[in-house]
Chains A and B, each alone.
Chain A
Amino acid sequence: MNLTLKIWRQNGPDDKGHMETYPVSDVNPEMSFLEMIDVLNEKLIAEGKEPVAFDHDCREGICGMCSMFINGEAHGPGKRITTCQLHMRSFNDGETVIIEPWRAAAFPVIKDLVVDRGAFDRIQQAGGYVSVNTSGNTIDANAIPVPKRDADRAFDAATCIGCGACVASCKNSSAMLFVSAKVSQFALLPQGKVEAKDRVRKMVKQMDLEGFGNCTNTGACEAECPVGISLENIARMNREYMGASLSSPD
């Protein structure tokens, strides 16, 4: 099939950036979206032009590196899917496809479709851990039974791949879904309870410092999240945060 691509080109952080149009032909419906961009890039290089820069690594939906805003949707059409898992059979012959980077003040563009998501790491560094040393002097793993239901819910929250689609989809560029996923994982487990209050305070503080917007409960994040992180996590984080604010900081 043949497509017309409109792609955001921005030659470095200081460039203003613009949309550019590229026709592509002979697209195989079995190709993944990124393989389609690979083919475009090989063509651009052969023509002496600069290929489109984009982030990707695992190409199987788990590393969270790929990040394209396609036809107005984070990771493109289809539910619970990353850009790398999107296949060309989701598009029609003759279609125009608009491809942009994540847009958020906290995610500055490095080049073309590549953005800097360092803010996510800094939020995790502020408190996204259990303060246990890696010394090997831990107790036997089965000494702390965890009810299966809690373990399963903690696991579901822990599957966040840190892609940033939630921020890109939110009209306020809020990072609540991402932060709440980590807060929930630990809040649900006995190992995480000890520092729960401290953790949520520190992570929320860093989130605000990074310039993410407020949550107004529109739910766009949940709808576009490739792994289905649930809004319940935001509710849980709000409760945790309220509880933490009521008790005095230690």
Chain B
Amino acid sequence: MKLDARIPAGPLEKKWSSHKSNIRLVSPANKRNIDIVVIGTGLAGSSAAASLAEMGYRVKAFCFQDSPRRAHSIAAQGGINAAKNYQNDGDSTYRLFYDTIKGGDYRSREANVYRLAEVSANIIDQCVAQGVPFARDYGGLLDNRSFGGVQVSRTFYAKGQTGQQLLLGAYSALNRQIGKGNVKMYNRHEMMDIVVEDGKARGIIARNLATGEIERHGAHAVLLASGGYGNVFFLSTNAMGSNGSAAWKAHRRGALMANPCFTQIHPTCIPQSGEYQSKLTLMSESLRNDGRIWVPKNKKDAEAIRAGQMKPTDIKEEDRDYYLERRYPSFGNLVPRDVASRAAKERCDEGYGVNATGQAVYLDFSSAIERYGKTEANQMGLENPSREKIIELGEKVVEAKYGNLFEMYQKIKDVNPYKSPMMIYPAVHYTMGGIWVDYNLMTNIPGLYALGEANFSDHGANRLGASALMQGLADGYFVAPYTVGDYLADEIRTGDIDINSDAFVQTEKDVVERIDKLINNKGTKTVDHYHRALGKIMWDKCGMARNAEGLKEAIVEIQALREEFWKEVNVPGRKDMYNPELDKAGRVADFLELGELMCLDALTREESCGGHFREEHQTEEGEAMRDDKNFAFASCWKYTGEPSKAELIKEELTFENVELKTRSYK
């Protein structure tokens, strides 16, 4: 099988504009006869559904939550990048492109990333026009902050609720089209499979989760905007329902999965507190603008803290090891996520971790509070303000910036982070890997597209902070609505899709058989039992650090676990009514296959790059060692019946505009 990414010819800066002007168009009259199904209503799905409907296509949108507004994008906290250069700090389309390629450790496609940077500025215009209330300065203009891995301020934000505000903006655009009757919305519906006929995507089989009914939906194009699969690790910062099933179903029907092992472990999450833990909570990266990360310099202090005999505030300044500032003086606390996570793990593995478990480091705001307090006092013209006054003023500034995050921390940990540093530890957060797509965001199955976190396209081996929201909206507002025309121009004579065709009948039968198998199994163990067991294997052997031996073991263990699952899982209740355990069982069954493929991918990639750290490939200082000679490609996997027997197809990555360098943040 030969892969063609269909990257337009011409210089990098011209590719998108010339491609756009050459894309085939579908006339308004013909659009009215074309059906498009969109799976997912996060940033990518909502924006795509709204835009396509506005252009005149007949759209159906699906989400498994009770409202499109609850898609997981709602939880994004810190911000969204755009090369607006409002701060006049030297930002540009090229710089955003370069930072993203470098941040991704040179494992993404130049042309896609450049386009992303190019449309980024327009996203902000669009959102502001919709009434998204971004943070503003006193002059009434938009404010910015910085994120990891970059040296400019290009992140737009709405306190710690940026994802919420952007999603509600896209949701409002979607609502407008639903109200007009151009989009039909299917809440509490799960896509169970994709229908492929004569090699083309022709629709989906869905299940109404409230009633259990199975439905067929025909379409001339199907867009998957179903989000990431971080929940394969059981514990992650993703919402409970986030899953990989839509992508996995597409994979089983022939779509390639690319770089599935590229997982982002986020350095600043609230550490796990017990076995009953159901998810982990992120503390936004924006906090690293002002928070300083440290552990005690002396092991005995760390031990005393773990034993509860000492408090972090008891440790003197000179006895603290600000290890990121020490190891990476030029980026300091703002190194990219993969680097920050590994550095935290290194300190904890060496015995310097805090928290009873030893699996935590401090994120401390006391310096920032003092610094801001002094500035405020100066601005207010206070002479010789007391320390209390400075702290009080500083805390107010910090509250205005991060108030809701501090509140969130306090609600969970019952500790006041203004007074005592936060405890944090890395956790699974995002999946750079996903469904392979070409420049048009089309998978290798004609008519099937993948958008947002569900595809593999833009972030290489490591995503920079605040770039997922940018990518979701770029895909949905500005890319897919145009590129689908290239394919749909040939579909104007197809007419309505026949949902009684053999392909629909057979796919529905497969879906029903699997549901029956799950519900009739009546084994001895719960779905969560298997999910937890899988998560532990993945975290221990395919997590922050990986090695060949562990990965080989993991593959065998996952196979055994999957076999046991199908024998022993117990799914209570009925299939013909609301039954969340049944929904969960189907998703975990898919994770049990996807996890195996992730381990195979990690095993095959004999190098360290971005979030993929192979212990065999590191420098003496413990930094990742990339192998551009042998691994400058995207690994695309074709399903052959067994996850670990998947066939590897390489998309070679060629870099014509940037020079491949060792990524250094020192």
Give the interface of A toward B (CB within 8 A).
Answer: 11-12, 28, 30-32, 34-35, 38-39, 42, 44-46, 48-51, 53, 55-65, 80-81, 85, 87, 89, 110-111, 114, 116-118, 120-121, 124-136, 138-142, 144-148, 151-152, 154-155, 158-159, 161-162, 185-186, 189, 191-192
A-B CB pair tally, cutoff 8 Å: 220
Residue B641 is within 8 A (CB to CB) of chain A in the complex = no
Which residues of the partner chain B approach A34 to less than 8 Å between Cβ atoms?
A: 278
Can you offer 23 A-B residue contacts whose CB atoms are under 8 A?
Answer: A30-B274, A32-B278, A56-B240, A58-B70, A58-B75, A63-B70, A63-B239, A65-B65, A111-B578, A120-B67, A121-B68, A125-B175, A125-B176, A134-B126, A136-B122, A141-B127, A141-B128, A145-B140, A148-B138, A148-B140, A151-B133, A151-B134, A159-B161
Give the residue name and chain of the B residue nearest to A120 (CB). B67
Which residues of the partner chain B approach A128 to less than 8 Å between Cβ atoms?
A: 172, 175
Q: Pick the most buried of A48, A135, A154: most chain B CB atoms within 10 A of its CB.
A: A135
- CB < 8 Å neighbour of B54 from A116, A134, A189: A134
Give the residue name and chain of the A residue nearest to B411 (CB). A85
- How many angstroms between the C-alpha atoms of A134 and B177 in the bound complex? 11
Which residues of the partner chain A approach B168 to less than 8 Å between Cβ atoms?
A: 158
In terms of DSSP, what is the predominant structure of the interface of chain A? loop
Which residues of the partner chain A approach B240 to less than 8 Å between Cβ atoms?
A: 56-59
- CB < 8 Å neighbour of A134 from B74, B173, B578: B173
Number of chain B interface residues as a range: 35 or more
Q: Are B130 and A191 in contact (CB-based, < 8 A)?
A: yes
- CB < 8 Å neighbour of A45 from B65, B164, B581: B581
Q: Are B172 and A117 in contact (CB-based, < 8 A)?
A: no
Q: Are B131 and A151 in contact (CB-based, < 8 A)?
A: no
Give the interface of B toward A (CB within 8 A).
Answer: 47, 50-51, 54, 65-70, 72, 74-75, 84, 86, 119, 122, 124-131, 133-142, 158-159, 161, 163-165, 168, 171-173, 175-176, 178-179, 185, 187, 210, 239-241, 273-274, 276-279, 281-282, 407-408, 411-412, 414, 477-478, 481, 526, 528, 570, 572-573, 577-581
- How many angstroms between the C-alpha atoms of A51 and B527 in the bound complex? 12
Which residues of the partner chain B approach A65 to less than 8 Å between Cβ atoms?
A: 65-66, 70
- How many angstroms between the C-alpha atoms of A34 and B478 in the bound complex? 39
- How many angstroms between the C-alpha atoms of A133 and B122 in the bound complex? 13
- How many angstroms between the C-alpha atoms of A131 and B133 in the bound complex? 16
- How many angstroms between the C-alpha atoms of A67 and B458 in the bound complex? 37
- CB < 8 Å neighbour of A59 from B47, B70, B124, B239: B239
Which residues of the partner chain B approach A151 to less than 8 Å between Cβ atoms?
A: 133-136, 140
Q: Pick the most buried of A46, A63, A135, A158: most chain B CB atoms within 10 A of its CB.
A: A63
Q: Are A129 and B137 in contact (CB-based, < 8 A)?
A: no
Q: Please provide the 8 A-B residue pairs with the shortest distance between their CB atoms, ordered closest to farther.
A: A145-B140, A129-B172, A155-B133, A141-B128, A125-B179, A138-B125, A111-B578, A57-B239
Q: Pick the most buried of A50, A60, A61, A89: most chain B CB atoms within 10 A of its CB.
A: A60
Which residues of the partner chain A approach B140 to less than 8 Å between Cβ atoms?
A: 145-148, 151
Give the residue name and chain of the B residue nearest to A36 (CB). B276
Task: Give min CB distance, A70 to chain B, whole Å.
Answer: 16
- How many angstroms between the C-alpha atoms of A154 and B169 in the bound complex? 13
Q: Are B414 and A62 in contact (CB-based, < 8 A)?
A: no
Which residues of the partner chain B approach A45 to less than 8 Å between Cβ atoms?
A: 526, 570, 572, 581
Which residues of the partner chain B approach A110 to less than 8 Å between Cβ atoms?
A: 210, 578
Q: Are B138 and A132 in contact (CB-based, < 8 A)?
A: no
Q: Are B414 and A89 in contact (CB-based, < 8 A)?
A: yes
User: What 12 additional pairs, Cβ within 8 angstroms, besides A161-B164, A189-B133?
Assistant: A12-B578, A45-B526, A58-B75, A58-B239, A81-B411, A124-B171, A124-B175, A141-B129, A146-B136, A148-B136, A186-B131, A192-B131
- CB < 8 Å neighbour of A138 from B74, B122, B187, B276: B122
